[in-house]
Amino acid sequence: MEIKELLAGKIGCECGKDHICPIDSVVIGENACDSITALVEKYNNILVVADRNTYAVGGKTVEEKVGAKRADTLVYATEGVLVPNEIAIDELKAHVTENTDLIIGIGSGVINDLCKHVSFISKLPYYIVATAPSMDGYASKGAALILDGMKVTLNADVPKAIIADVNILKNAPFDMIQAGYGDIIGKYSCLNDWKLAHLVNGEYLCEFVMNATYESVEKTVRLAEGLNKREADAVYALMEALVAVGILMAYVGNSRPASGSEHHLSHYFEIVGIVRGEEYFPHGVDVCYSAIETAKLREKLLALDNIDRYKTHHDNAKFEENVRRIYGSVSDEVIALQKKLGWYDVDRVSVYKEKWAEIKRVLADCPTSEEMLSLTEKIGLAYDRFVGLYGEKKIDDAKLYAKDLKDRYTVLWMYYDLFN
């Protein structure tokens, strides 16, 4: 679907919900930044937010287009990766005054999430000027933050405007272009998880949103060659797909159409990397690699002809021992989340036995690990890099314990239930 159609919403959807997206403007194209002057016409005290890298790419241009309406500019001076934690949030909040009437973020994932969160708690509108086609959260309602060392997604409002200048996007670091492609390709995994959760747990599912997401994925699969060459048309199409998926998340009010087991593995590598001071890939790159791993789990489950001999079992002492080994300083938060959810006390194996034939049909309705590997290689991501950076032990731990970072059922729970 075209962005214009998605912005119009869908009233009376067959799923029983009205889908609305309160984004006023999405401007994607060459020289898109020229639209800023008109878009800020009704505002008078604008706070511009960037980090050092994104300010160098678009800061002066945005300030020029905003003109005298700019009241302040915050440029995060963080060395290395900017983490969307309490320190970064407080720094941004300190620049918001009683006169601030609009926040404009310049950046991608982290800047977008920080501006989204602070604008929401400050009851202010915000715009985002995208600097990379690197993730699908531009148009989503969730702000992905790291609070108390844990990766959490807090409710927030969508931006009032998304400005994506292809002249900027096509010159982004290539690993960020790979990340955007990977974030979309990973939807094969999360959409399968959504179907699985609907079957196993009776979770709400919208066929319209699911089919529209698949449409964006199928368009993106064809872009790899052009993205490798940084072709403007391919970068435009990727950005459009990323924004479309964000709007579809806003339609259902959560990230289910775009985030599943592959994202949980990605969050695991990020959190463990931060806790241990170890390197990790950009989010979408990890998602792309992790979708290969979740495909392997589906294949392992599909290889089970009969599960009658399986039964629900959970060794809590072993679980806590492994969580503390893996998550270190944030292990208490991980354990507390799972105690609150109580999912280890649920007998899912009986449900698996009852619905095994249907479950296998769902699991089979997803690309194989070899097909996912092929899609990953098309954008220049070598699987050996993934294994080389993390090692087999960290990857194996992720398959069993990445699920504990989130409150969402995915194939990771089925894998744990039957193979732990």
Which residue type does 390 have?
A: Y
Q: Residue 104 forms beta bridges with which residues?
A: 48, 127
Give residue 271's pLDDT: 93
129 within 8 A of 64, measured Cβ to Cβ: no
- The tens digit of pLDDT for each residue in 163-215 reads 999 999 999 999 999 999 999 999 999 999 999 999 999 999 999 999 999 99
Give residue 145's pLDDT: 92
Q: What SS3 class is residue 154? A: strand
User: 124: number of CA atoms within 13 Å, CB side?
Assistant: 27
- The tens digit of pLDDT for each residue in 29-63 reads 999 999 999 999 999 999 999 999 999 999 999 99
Give residue 305's pLDDT: 85
- The tens digit of pLDDT for each residue in 321-379 reads 999 999 999 999 999 999 999 999 999 999 999 999 999 999 999 999 999 999 999 99
Q: How confident is the model at residue 151 (pLDDT cuts 50, 70, 90)?
A: confident
Rounded to whole angstroms, the Cα distance separating 111 from 83 reads 9
Rounded to whole angstroms, the Cα distance separating 177 from 230 reads 9
Q: How confident is the model at residue 140 (pLDDT cuts 50, 70, 90)?
A: confident
Give residue 81's pLDDT: 82
| Cα 304 off chain centre by | 31
User: Percentage of the chain with pLDDT > 90?
Assistant: 91
Instruction: Retrieve residue 339's tokens.
Output: 């105690």
CB neighbourhood size of 33 (10 A): 20
Describe the crossing of helices 369-378 and 174-185 by its angle, rounded to 10 degrees. 150
Nearest to 280 by CA among 153, 394, 144, 186: 394
404 within 8 A of 272, measured Cβ to Cβ: no
Give the Å distances, CA to CA, from 375 to 186, 261, 283: 10, 18, 17
- The tens digit of pLDDT for each residue in 290-305 reads 999 999 999 999 999 8
What mean pLDDT do residues 2-7 have?
92
